[in-house]
Amino acid sequence: MKIQPTLYSILDLALVSEGHTLKQTYTNVLELAQHAEASGYTRYWLAEHHNAPNIGSSATSILIGYVAEGTKTLRIGSGGIMLPNHSPLIVAEQFGTLASLYPNRIDLGLGRAPGTDRETAQAIRSDFMQAAHSFPKELDKIETYFSAENASSKVRATVAEGVDVPIYILGSSTDSAHLAAKKGLPYAFASHFATTHLMEAIGIYRDEFQASNELQTPYVMAGVNIIVADTDEEAERLSTSLIRMIVGIFTGKRDYVQAPTAMTDELKEIMQHPQVHQMLKYSFIGSKATVKAQVKAFMAKTQADELIAVTNIYDGQERIRSYELFAEIMKELNA
């Protein structure tokens, strides 16, 4: 049984809603982060994605700096940087710089997926597949560049040496669970969309965990989709934007986030499709009371140390309201 309170955080993709400019999208990102800071959220992570018109977080490290500059205490980081897309040296330099500008506030979450389609992954880095298979070695390089001991090496990330940037391993299957456990690093599972292996991955991570200088005991973060409104009906209406996003993923027709509509029989039928139903398994949608009961059950099942919430809502103010209600839920559950 967990004794410590369960922390709560935000994972953002800088979603671009239909009719909104990128500038407006980024303004909404910062406004949400500022409200999150006031509501007691622990961290605000931005996810790297490419070649998707509805996602604005492609230049992830730049957005992290923008959000960090506009906030004061909130931890800001990547959820994650897709390491096979990048040179470990460059990542270390970028995050070492960020951590020097915003001390004790920058997180580096790392994943091995491309965050895009195969063609775009190849355009980003022609040897992407080789880099993906070498993820553990690439991770070792990152850690080396951040170490003070690397000062005597020929290749250095001088702005990163000795700088405190916690590293988190991201996963959506069981593969990264083994790696996170072996390295003694915190583990964040993308259960907001990859629901099938959540419990298996957490079990592997906890069973195989080896203490490290960074972490003495396992630390699990779990992703959840959260849409909270004043009533179940209003939350259901807001969720229609999410459903259409998921349809776009499965059909390959990604588009800007659509405005919500009334829930139709057709959308309800789509939600019951096996693939969609599985993807939405850890999606908690409804009034505060409804979502509180769902989240309480999820916390009991996973014993996660931290929940990281994804809220895909068309309107920025309704999104802020949902996150504020979720913060109230977490405070009540932690009381």
Tell me: pLDDT of 2 over 80. Answer: no
Predicted confidence at residue 291, as pLDDT, reads 98
Task: Give the CATH architecture of domain 7-334.
Answer: Alpha-Beta Barrel (3.20)
Predicted confidence at residue 114, as pLDDT, reads 78
Predicted confidence at residue 280, as pLDDT, reads 94
List, for residues 69-119, the tens digit of each pLDDT value.
Answer: 999 999 999 999 999 999 999 999 999 999 999 999 999 999 998 778 888
Tell me: pLDDT of 141 over 70. Answer: yes
Q: How confident is the model at residue 1 (pLDDT cuts 50, 70, 90)?
A: low
List, for residues 253-286, the tens digit of each pLDDT value.
Answer: 888 999 999 999 999 999 999 999 999 999 999 9
Determine the Cα angle at 161 with ends 143 and 126, to 5°: 50
- The residue assigned the tokens 């973060």 is 221
List, for residues 311-321, the tens digit of each pLDDT value.
Answer: 999 999 999 99
201 and 217 Cβ atoms separated by less than 8 Å: no
Query: CA-to-CA distance for 161 and 287, rounded, in angstroms?
Result: 47
93 and 81 Cβ atoms separated by less than 8 Å: no
Query: CA-to-CA distance for 117 and 215, rounded, in angstroms?
Result: 34
pTM listed for this prediction: 0.96
- Which residues lie below 8 Å from residue 306, measured CB to CB, with a gap of 6+? 6, 7, 8, 9, 42, 219, 220, 221, 222
Q: State whether residue 80 is helix, strand or coil.
A: strand
Average pLDDT value over all residues in the chain: 95
Predicted confidence at residue 38, as pLDDT, reads 98
Q: State whether residue 190 is helix, strand or coil.
A: coil
Predicted confidence at residue 126, as pLDDT, reads 78
Q: Where would I find the beta strands (DSSP E) of the chain?
A: 7-12, 43-46, 75-82, 106-111, 167-171, 187-189, 220-229, 283-287, 306-310
Predicted confidence at residue 189, as pLDDT, reads 98
Mean predicted confidence (pLDDT) in 183-192: 98
Predicted confidence at residue 121, as pLDDT, reads 82
Burial class (CB in 10 A: 0-12, 13-18, 19+), 156: middle
